[in-house]
Amino acid sequence: MAGAPVELLLSPLSLAILGLAVGSFLNVVIHRLPLMLERRWWADVHHQLQDAASFERIFGAPLPASIGQATSGLGEAITKLTPYGLARPGSCCPSCTKPIRWYQNIPLVSWIWLRARCESCNASISARYPLIEALCAAVFAAVGWRLGAQPVALLWCGFAAALLALSVIDWDTTVLPDDLTLPLLWAGLLASAAGWTLPISQAVIGAAAGYMALWSVYWLFKLATGKEGMGYGDFKLLAAMGAWLGWQALLPIVLAASILGAMVGIGMKFAGALREGRYVPFGPFLAGAGIVIMLLGTSRALDWLGWA
């Protein structure tokens, strides 16, 4: 294995196989990370409700006994929770809770072999799992085809995998976790500083411009309407993409995301599929546009728009 040529290890086919494995892990991240965050938030709530001095500073009165009792019950509930993370507990069927054996967890293959059914309870297995695995494999292969057999292709595969996970999490929960956006931002800046991607000046300006662009739109919209049009996670996501792709890529990304988001939103409105509050998360469209610009190339995107 050690003597295998780089051209083979980093070929589109090899990267596609790697993408299947990474896609399987992304399914775990997409499902578990939001639950891990919710646990953390409840622990934060418990900690805050214990702070009687803070309560009195804010509300001008002692902490009510009823809140103290509720805090005690919440603390007991939190301590009874079993450990939960990306590695533990092992994968299991959500219907019958039977552990999933290794041969039932082979990316894409197991879903087809099991005919989309749990072997133990015959419960349906969502098609989203193999779709994410296949999409990750396709994107990894496209990165290999676009960049050729060079180690930096692995960096861009990691960038694309993070965007894919963020897009699905945001679609499900309308949350873009700092646990993913901030490491992605810093990784982009460090990759630039190491000379692996784009010049550091473009990365820094891209990160700052990406954040400030959507931050400005957020506040203009809020001042004009009194409503929040997007969340702070969108600012951080665009900042991360600016760090990886440079400030020149920001306008094509935002334009493509806005057009696609509007089209999907209109379609969902006519189909009666809009969620409560009548909103569509912006993160999936930002992430999707970022992957497209990464594969297409910023200069080519600007040429097509006539802005080169």
The predicted model gives 136-158 an average pLDDT of 95
Helices (H) and strands (E) in the chain, counts: 13, 0
Query: Which CA distances in Å does 298 have to 42, 246, 289?
Result: 42, 9, 11
Predicted confidence (pLDDT) at residue 224 exceeds the cutoff of 70: yes
Question: What φ, ψ does residue 92 adopt, rounded to 5°?
Answer: -145, 165
pLDDT of res. 308: 56
pTM for the full predicted model: 0.92
Q: How far apart are CA 247 and CA 303, in angstroms?
A: 16
Q: How far apart are CA 263 and CA 288, in angstroms?
A: 14
Q: Quick one: tokens of 97?
A: 């809770």
* pLDDT tier, 1 (very low <50, low <70, confident <90, very high otherwise): very low
- Spacing of C-alpha 247 from chain mean position: 21
Q: How far apart are CA 308 and CA 303, in angstroms?
A: 5
Question: Could you read off the pLDDT of 56-92 as tens digits, one per residue?
Answer: 999 999 989 888 888 888 999 999 999 999 988 888 8
pLDDT of res. 3: 47
pLDDT of res. 177: 97
Question: Could you read off the pLDDT of 87-126 as tens digits, one per residue?
Answer: 888 888 888 888 888 888 889 998 999 888 888 898 898 9
Average pLDDT, the chain: 91
* pLDDT tier, 4 (very low <50, low <70, confident <90, very high otherwise): low
Question: Could you read off the pLDDT of 225-252 as tens digits, one per residue?
Answer: 888 888 899 999 999 999 999 999 999 9
